[in-house]
């Protein structure tokens, strides 16, 4: 055929010419072939499908009789290629201390042993015979995913979700977790996705931004939300879990994934090769914290966060409390409430204001996260502040007296066995003896036994917008991603959501395409915007997800807040469904 002859006049023309034509088409008519269905699966996003067909057609050149000869020839080529590359890489490691012209040993090895299958087949079709072409099948063995390409640091909420999302798409992941060998000031177990403080994922109402983000994550098959629902305990309109059951379920799911290798060791340097995700959270170990500072060339950022105490149920005097959710939400009686009279409140406040706290180190400033202030810091802002905050009595009229108490302290179930309760919103940096003395002044807690004391901790995060793009990927070094609280999002759910977004972004890159951005009209997308779009010189502070962060594209002014929010929710959920559809144009075998 004339066309074929013309193409073959160009050296390697069978590869170069179609490649060039595809590039021209994509440059000038980028949407020409994106018309959905089968066509789209084969063009633009579907190169692995084409690769599969390509190998199939190569297979059709072979016969069982010819196969042994092809295997022999292919094996010889493979041994020569990988063997030479290995010797060269060993020489680089030995004589050049592991790096030559900025290329590491592994980079040299990979570059030298890489197979350009298209070029090989194009050349052998002109200069070789059918059996030469068939040897490509054997050669392509070394391009298969036999090396761990993805390194994750931190098996917390973000790291676990991210690794799992990739593994279930068939990508191999090595997940480094330093616990139990090295632990943090807040974690108590060796489980993945341990909840270090409250056992709540906050509101489950989709008209609340944190409720919406859960729906979006569920639509994208989130592991963390699935396990949370399985471990749920009653908590009004919140999604709260038995923390041990929850972390156990996540750990089991990670262990059951053959693609994930969980390595129990601390990582002290930024991984030098391949894709890596840093998801070490607010309590990143000091050595890695320094390495991240070095990588970003900045002073590390931090704020102080505190945790609320957990009490043993058997030590509570329930006769002084009443069971009720605020405004009767959820099952109606999901919380135990300790009512305080005005005098009891004033006495408690005086003790709190005079209470001795754990000092912050001399060289650091006491910067707190506004959404999670210690109660003694809130109390310093005014004698009424707690009555409008965690001790708010609104919606909690005592059914026994029909009267609304002056103030209320709420206790939330912390485990399925109902053995532990946490004091809602009572994060504190009081010293331990002071916690015992002051919290036992609350009616019903006179003999409270503490399963865990409240505590203060340092919380590390980076100035994400200065370094990351909307895929949580370092602009300067795109093989490195950050996920979780370290990116400057705040909260368990938000951390897991960024892990999910990073996992799906990397999956798309590994599947051979530039990731499709998550729309800013979604709650997950709004976190990506928060972490990437802000001038580097501007102050950057950690944020929970809110409707204020989500892009509102409706230009018609709707005055009713509820109606406006419902529209934003509907828009967000359909945008996520559409996005899922777009990113699902991946190889079918991988998505199963
Ligand atoms: C004490 C405390 C209390 C909090 N309370 C709440 C709360 O009540 N509600 C809420 O919504 N959010 C809370 N947060 C904020 C945040 O939601 C959680 O920290 C959340 O767990 C963050 O998820 P993550 O995946 O980013 O980090 P994490 O869940 O902390 O996971 C990071 C993992 O990385 C590991 N790691 C750290 N350094 C290394 C290293 N060098 N090598 C290997 N592994 C390493 C850690 O052991 C950990 O398992 C709290 C944070 C802290 C620190």
Tell me what pLDDT residue 458 has: 73
Q: Are 239 and 250 in contact (CB under 8 A)?
A: no
DSSP 235-278: BTBEEEE-HHHHHHHHHHHHHT-TTEEEE-----S---SSEEEE
| pLDDT, tens only, 49-90 | 666 676 677 667 667 777 788 888 888 888 888 888 888 888
Residue in 232, 39, 184 with CA at minimum distance from that of residue 485 = 184
Does ligand 1 have an atom closer than 6 angstroms to the CB of 396? Answer: no
Helices 243-255 and 157-167, axial angle in degrees (round to 10): 30
Total domains, the chain: 3
Tell me what pLDDT residue 428 has: 92
CA of 279 to the centre of ligand 1 (A): 9
Residues 258 and 368 in one domain: no
Residues 15 and 78 in one domain: yes
Comparing 420 with 541, the larger pLDDT belongs to 420
Is position 296 within any domain? yes
What CATH code is carried by the domain that includes residue 400?
A: 2.40.30.260
| pLDDT, tens only, 298-342 | 765 666 667 889 998 999 999 999 999 998 877 778 899 999 999
Neighbours of 259 (CB within 10 A): 18
Is position 588 within any domain? no
Is position 589 within any domain? no
| pLDDT, tens only, 224-241 | 999 999 999 999 999 999
- Residue 364 banded pLDDT, cuts 50, 70, 90: very low
Residues 367 and 293 in one domain: no
Tell me what pLDDT residue 133 has: 76
Residues 577 and 496 in one domain: yes
Tell me what pLDDT residue 263 has: 93
Question: From atom 45 of ligand 1, which residue's Cα is the shortest distance away?
Answer: 154
- Residue 126 banded pLDDT, cuts 50, 70, 90: confident
Ligand 1 probe mutation, 227, 268, 283, most atoms within 8 A of CB: 283
- 98, pLDDT greater than 70: no
Residues 514 and 560 in one domain: yes
Between vectors from CA 176 to CA 175 and to CA 180, what angle results, nearest 5°?
A: 125
What does the radius of gyration of the chain's CA atoms come to, in whole angstroms?
Answer: 29
Is position 590 within any domain? no
- Please, what's the largest Cα pairwise distance for the chain? 99
Residues 293 and 182 in one domain: yes
Peptide bond into 120 cis (omega under 30): no
- 589, pLDDT greater than 70: no
| pLDDT, tens only, 549-582 | 899 887 666 677 788 889 999 999 999 999 999 9
Mean pLDDT of the chain: 85
Distance set, CA 517 to CA 29, 521, 576 (Å): 21, 11, 11
3-state secondary structure of 457: strand
d(CA 178, CA 518): 31
Q: Are 142 and 82 in contact (CB under 8 A)?
A: yes
- 212, pLDDT greater than 60: yes
Does ligand 1 have an atom closer than 6 angstroms to the CB of 322? Answer: no
Does ligand 1 have an atom closer than 6 angstroms to the CB of 428? Answer: no
Comparing 294 with 241, the larger pLDDT belongs to 241
Strand pairing report for 173-176 and 260-263: parallel
d(CA 12, CA 483): 43
Residue in 482, 552, 480 with CA at minimum distance from that of residue 523 = 552
- Residue 48 banded pLDDT, cuts 50, 70, 90: low
Residues 335 and 227 in one domain: no
Between vectors from CA 422 to CA 417 and to CA 424, what angle results, nearest 5°?
A: 135
CA of residue 447 relative to chain centroid, distance: 40
d(CA 464, CA 471): 11
d(CA 490, CA 93): 43
Question: From atom 8 of ligand 1, which residue's Cα is the shortest distance away?
Answer: 198
Residues 59 and 179 in one domain: no
H/E run at residue 161: helix 157-167
List 240's β-bridge partners, or say none: 200, 233
Q: Are 478 and 471 in contact (CB under 8 A)?
A: no
Does ligand 1 have an atom closer than 6 angstroms to the CB of 246? Answer: no
d(CA 415, CA 240): 9
Token readout for 530 is 């928060």
Q: Which segment of 8-17, 298-307, 478-487, 573-582 scores lowest on mean pLDDT?
A: 298-307
Is position 592 within any domain? no
List Cβ neighbours of 175 (8 Å cut-off, separation of 6 or more): 152, 155, 159, 160, 163, 254, 260, 261, 262, 263
Residues 295 and 330 in one domain: no
Residues 89 and 218 in one domain: no
d(CA 129, CA 133): 7
What CATH code is carried by the domain that includes residue 201?
A: 3.50.50.60
Sheet holding 150-153, edge to edge: 260-263, 173-176, 150-153, 275-278, 480-482
Tell me what pLDDT residue 347 has: 97
Q: Are 410 and 335 in contact (CB under 8 A)?
A: yes
Does ligand 1 have an atom closer than 6 angstroms to the CB of 283? Answer: yes
List Cβ neighbours of 61 (8 Å cut-off, separation of 6 or more): 130, 133, 134
Ligand 1 probe mutation, 155, 156, 414, 482, most atoms within 8 A of CB: 156
Domain that residue 578 falls in? 149-300+462-583
Distance set, CA 30 to CA 19, 38, 123, 579 (Å): 15, 17, 30, 19
Ligand 1 probe mutation, 281, 429, 483, most atoms within 8 A of CB: 281
pLDDT (mean) for 530-546? 81
Tell me what pLDDT residue 110 has: 76
Decide which of 87, 116, 143 is a domain's last residue: 143
Residues 104 and 204 in one domain: no
Q: Are 337 and 403 in contact (CB under 8 A)?
A: no
Question: From atom 29 of ligand 1, which residue's Cα is the shortest distance away?
Answer: 156
Does ligand 1 have an atom closer than 6 angstroms to the CB of 280? Answer: yes
């Amino acid at each position: 055929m004339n066309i074929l002859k013309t193409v073959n006049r160009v050296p390697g023309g069978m590869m170069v010419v179609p490649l060039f034509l595809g590039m021209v088409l994509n440059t000038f008519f980028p949407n020409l072939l994106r018309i959905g269905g089968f066509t789209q699966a084969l063009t633009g996003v579907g190169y692995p499908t084409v690769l599969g067909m390509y190998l199939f057609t190569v297979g059709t050149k072979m016969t069982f009789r010819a196969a042994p000869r092809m295997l022999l020839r292919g094996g010889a080529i493979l041994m020569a290629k990988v063997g030479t590359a290995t010797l060269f890489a060993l020489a680089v490691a030995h004589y050049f201390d592991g790096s030559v012209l900025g290329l590491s040993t592994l980079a040299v090895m990979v570059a030298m042993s890489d197979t350009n299958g298209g070029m090989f087949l194009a050349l052998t079709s002109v200069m070789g015979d059918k059996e030469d072409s068939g040897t490509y099948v054997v050669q392509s063995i070394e391009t298969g995913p036999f090396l761990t390409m993805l390194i994750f640091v931190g098996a917390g909420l973000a790291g676990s979700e991210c690794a799992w999302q990739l593994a279930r798409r068939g990508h191999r992941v090595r997940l480094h977790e330093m616990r139990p060998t090295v632990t943090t000031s807040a974690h108590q177990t060796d489980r993945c996705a341990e909840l270090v403080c409250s056992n709540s994922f906050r509101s489950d109402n989709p008209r609340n931004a944190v409720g919406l983000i859960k729906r979006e994550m569920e639509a994208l098959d989130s592991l963390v939300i699935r396990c949370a629902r399985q471990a749920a305990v009653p908590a009004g309109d919140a999604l709260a879990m038995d923390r041990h059951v929850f972390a156990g379920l996540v750990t089991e799911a990670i262990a059951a994934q053959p693609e994930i290798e969980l390595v129990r060791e601390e990582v002290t340097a930024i991984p030098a090769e391949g894709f890596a995700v840093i998801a070490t959270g607010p309590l990143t170990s000091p050595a890695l914290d320094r390495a991240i500072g070095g990588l970003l060339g900045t002073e590390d950022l931090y704020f102080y966060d505190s945790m609320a105490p957990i009490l043993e149920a058997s030590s509570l005097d329930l006769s002084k409390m009443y069971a009720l959710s605020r405004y009767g939400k959820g099952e109606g009686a999901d919380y135990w409430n300790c009512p305080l009279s005005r005098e009891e409140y004033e006495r408690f406040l005086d003790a709190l204001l005079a209470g001795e706290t754990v000092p912050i180190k001399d060289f650091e400033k006491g910067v707190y996260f506004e959404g999670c202030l210690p109660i003694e810091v809130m109390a310093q802002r005014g004698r009424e502040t707690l009555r409008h905050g965690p001790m708010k009595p609104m919606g909690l009229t005592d059914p026994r007296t029909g009267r609304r108490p002056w103030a209320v302290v709420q206790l939330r179930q912390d485990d399925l066995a109902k053995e532990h309760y946490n004091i809602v919103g009572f994060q504190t940096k009081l010293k331990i003896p002071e916690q015992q003395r002051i919290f036992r002044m609350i009616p019903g807690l006179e003999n409270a036994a503490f399963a865990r004391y409240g505590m203060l901790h340092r919380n590390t995060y980076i100035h994400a917008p200065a370094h990351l793009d909307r895929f949580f990927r370092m602009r300067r070094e795109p093989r490195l991603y950050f996920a979780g609280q370290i990116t400057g999002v705040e909260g368990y759910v938000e951390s897991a959501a960024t892990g999910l977004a990073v996992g799906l972004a990397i999956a798309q890159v590994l599947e051979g395409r530039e990731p499709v951005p998550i729309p800013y009209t979604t709650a997950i997308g709004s976190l990506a915007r928060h972490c990437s779009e802000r001038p580097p010189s501007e102050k950057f502070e950690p944020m929970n997800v809110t409707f204020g962060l989500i892009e509102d594209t409706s230009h018609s002014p709707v005055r009713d807040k509820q109606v406006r929010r419902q529209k934003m929710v509907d828009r967000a959920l359909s945008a996520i469904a559409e996005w899922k559809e777009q990113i699902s144009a991946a190889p079918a075998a991988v998505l199963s």
